[in-house]
Homo-oligomer: A and B are copies of this chain.
Amino acid sequence: MSDNRYGELRPGQRVLMGPGPTDLDPRVLRALATPVVGHLDPDFLHIMNDTRDLIRSAFATNNHLTVAMSGTGSAGMETCLVNLLEPGDRAVVCVNGAFGQRMVDIVGRIGAEAIVVQAPWGRTIDPADVEAALKQGGVKLVALVHVETSTGVWQPVEEIAALARAYDALVVLDAVSSLGGAPVLVDAWQVDAAYSGSQKCLSAPPGLAPVTMSERARAAIGRRRTKVQSWYLDLTMIENYWGEARAYHHTAPISMVYALREALRIAAEEGWENRWRRHLRLGRALQAGLEAMGLSLIAPPEHRAPMVTAVRVPEGVDEAAVRRQLLADYGLEIAGGLGEFKGRAWRIGLMGNSCQWKNVVLCLTALSVALRAQGYKASADEALAAAQAALAAY
Which residues from chain A sit less than 8 Å from chain B, CB to CB? 1-6, 9, 11-14, 16, 18, 20-24, 29-44, 47, 50, 53-54, 57, 70-75, 78, 102, 105-106, 108-110, 197, 199, 205-207, 227-233, 248-256, 258-259, 261-262, 265, 268-274, 327, 333, 335, 338
Contacts and interface: CB of A to CB of B under 8 A. Distances in A.
Given A6-B261, A71-B70, A16 B30 contact: no
B197 A251 contact: yes
A16 B29 contact: no
Given A11-B47, A71-B70, A262-B9, A251 B41 contact: no
Nearest to A259: B255
Contacts of A231: 74, 78, 102, 105-106, 109
Given A6-B268, A250-B74, A255-B207, A36 B16 contact: yes
Contact of A251 (B6, B72, B78, B250): B72
B38 A14 contact: yes
A6 B265 contact: yes
Pick the 10 closest A-B CB pairs, nearest first: A207-B253, A33-B33, A3-B268, A205-B255, A32-B32, A74-B250, A11-B43, A206-B251, A29-B33, A2-B271
Contact of A227 (B72, B109, B205): B109
B70 A41 contact: no
B109 A228 contact: yes
Given A72-B250, A229-B229, A265-B6, A24 B36 contact: yes
Contacts of A110: 229
A249 B207 CA distance: 13
A325 to B, nearest CB: 13
Given A256-B207, A271-B3, A37 B9 contact: no
A363 B199 CA distance: 39
A42 B194 CA distance: 33
18 contacts: A3-B57, A3-B268, A6-B265, A9-B258, A9-B262, A14-B35, A21-B38, A21-B39, A23-B35, A30-B33, A32-B32, A33-B33, A70-B72, A71-B71, A73-B250, A109-B231, A110-B229, A207-B207
A71 B232 contact: yes
A337 to B, nearest CB: 11
B72 A254 contact: no
Contacts of A207: 70, 207, 253, 255-256
A39 to B, nearest CB: 7
A283 B144 CA distance: 53
A31 B135 CA distance: 54
A4 B1 CA distance: 52
Contacts of A106: 231
Contacts of A50: 6
A148 B22 CA distance: 39
Contacts of A39: 21, 206
A253 B72 contact: yes
Given A37-B333, A70-B72, A207-B207, A230 B227 contact: no
Contact of A38 (B4, B29, B333): B333
Contacts of A248: 338
Contact of A11 (B41, B53, B70, B252): B41
B41 A2 contact: no
Given A47-B9, A254-B206, A37 B14 contact: yes
A12 to B, nearest CB: 5
B34 A11 contact: yes
A173 to B, nearest CB: 18
Contact of A206 (B40, B74, B252, B271): B252
Contacts of A269: 2-4
